[in-house]
Structure 1
Amino acid sequence: MDVSNSVDPSEYRLQVDGLADALLDPEIAEILVRDSVALSVIQWSGIDSQQHTLPWTRMRSPLDVRSFSAAARAMPRAFVLSDTAPAEALSYALDRFTQVPDCKRRIIDVSGDGTPNAGSEVGPLRRRAERMGITINGIAIESLGVAITNFYRRHLITRDGFVVTARGHRDYPRAIRIKILREISKVLG
């Protein structure tokens, strides 16, 4: 979850509430439990600004889903006044998969409202993810145009990944629900 300088406090709230609400969607919650999906949340911004805010948690019961949703809704913002460095966020996220080796399908979701203005190139990390069998999907939060969506498509997502575009932060709740449903539908199909 992008918490760089371009994300103001109300936009941060829209992201965490959108995630929390999407997880409580009855269709999503049912599949998360049925497939015992493991979830975690990483907040990221600049080069040295990544935090594994919510550790890997298996969704084994409706209570697990409700608890994870509540924790997401309550999580404080990890960083303020920082750049946008998605390559470093990807590197950090890829390293977290050693903690959950038994996943049937491994996915990194990158949500953000800006293109990189700090850090390394994203391409080597995308290739590393593909070698590891990890899919990278994205939610591009656009205020005008499609620059972020295009950057995600061309440089960030893996060949088996996809991008959902949110038309501003207010559209994020809709976009994340669609993205999660698409991901878990792939697990089933």
Structure 2
Amino acid sequence: MWYPKVPWLLSVLVTGLLTVAPAWHRAPTDVDLALVLAVDVSTSMDPDEQNLQRQGYVEAFRSPLVHHAIYTGMLGRIAVTYVEWAGAHTPGYQSVIIPWTILESPKDAIAFANGLARAPSHRVPGTSISKAIDFSMALLSSGDFRARRRVIDISGDGSNNQGGLVTEARDKAIARGVTINGLPIMLKEPERGENATLDAYYRDCVIGGSNAFMIPVRERKQFLMETRAKIVREIADAAGPGSLAHSVGGRPLTECDTSESVWDDFAPDPHAPGIGSGHDL
């Protein structure tokens, strides 16, 4: 049987395979840091506080100080995503606002900031720091990069009141080599003592891992400066002012078990005698 000579066809096939093959086997991008910015949008944050919080992150990534911190890293690039979080029961409300983005130049960082500035804001009931940590951990496993360090950056104005125990979520993250840092927002007058001790709550119950720290914000004029300082410190992995985490496993100085799963254990049975008379306890 006679077979026609088709060298041109073989050439096209080989060229096509060489073009496509790198896409099949493309190695993940190596970065100095994978950073999840996990930001509280619960209804306890009033619109003015939310705008101030958002603007803090926008201005941070426009700052030459942040650009310099990225450039002077071992590889000179980081991966960042911006996440909003609230309660455990609102469908889907742990939400990615800006997906994983590689930053390796001032242009990249400014584009990230501009995208964040244009994104709409939300307000959602509930505060589930534990679910925010779990959601962030899933994101850290989904990025197309290899990171030398992985950090979850939690900012918020209240303690965990929905979902699982925050200490369990924190400890699981630390066991996988992830650091959790915090920015407790303490701008309001103390309410039943919670706001007055939120920095201690973050220190004892939320942050942890290698070089973990938290920086409380007590005045509006601090917000832009402290947010920028926190991000520079996270990128550089350098020591600085702020409260450090206690070692995991030590006895915390603060009551950490504030989630609904714990309070349910102490709630009275509404069907028990004398309960359910229509009066709240």
TM-score of the two chains, using structure 1 as the length reference: 0.91
Cα distance in 2, alignment partners of residues 119 and 36 from structure 1: 35
CA contact 2:178–2:209 (8 Å) conserved in 1: no
Of Structure 1 and Structure 2, which has the larger fraction of its residues in helix? 1
| RMSD of equivalent CA atoms | 1.8
Q: Deviations over 1:28-52 (max 9, x none)?
A: 1122245211110010001042001
Structure 1 residues 94, 29: closer, same or farther in 2, change over 3 A?
A: same
Cα distance in 2, alignment partners of residues 162 and 53 from structure 1: 24
* Alignment match of 1:150 (pick from 192, 200, 217): 200
- 1:44 match: 85
Letter in 2 for 1:151: Y
Q: Deviations over 1:80-118 (max 9, x none)?
A: 241111101111011101123501111000000111222
Larger Rg: 2
Structure 1 runs of 4+ with >3 Å offset: none
* Structure 2: gaps spanning 5 or more residues: 1-38, 240-281
- 2:46 match: 8
* Structure 1: gaps spanning 5 or more residues: none
Count of aligned positions = 187
Q: CA deviation at 1:152?
A: 0.7
Q: Deviations over 1:13-41 (max 9, x none)?
A: 11111101011111211222452111100
Where does 1:16-165 land on structure 2 (aligned, <5 Å)?
A: 16-34=54-72, 35-47=76-88, 48=90, 49-77=93-121, 79-100=122-143, 101-143=145-187, 144=190, 146-160=196-210, 161-165=212-216
Cα distance in 1, alignment partners of residues 49 and 95 from structure 2: 19
Q: CA deviation at 1:168?
A: 4.2
Cα distance in 2, alignment partners of residues 168 and 62 from structure 1: 29
Cα distance in 2, alignment partners of residues 164 and 105 from structure 1: 20
Cα distance in 1, alignment partners of residues 131 and 223 from structure 2: 23
CA contact 2:64–2:106 (8 Å) conserved in 1: no
Q: Does 1:172 align with 2:227?
A: no
**Which secondary structure state, in structure 2, belongs to the residue aligned with residue 177 of structure 1?**
helix
* Alignment match of 2:233 (pick from 159, 182, 189): 182
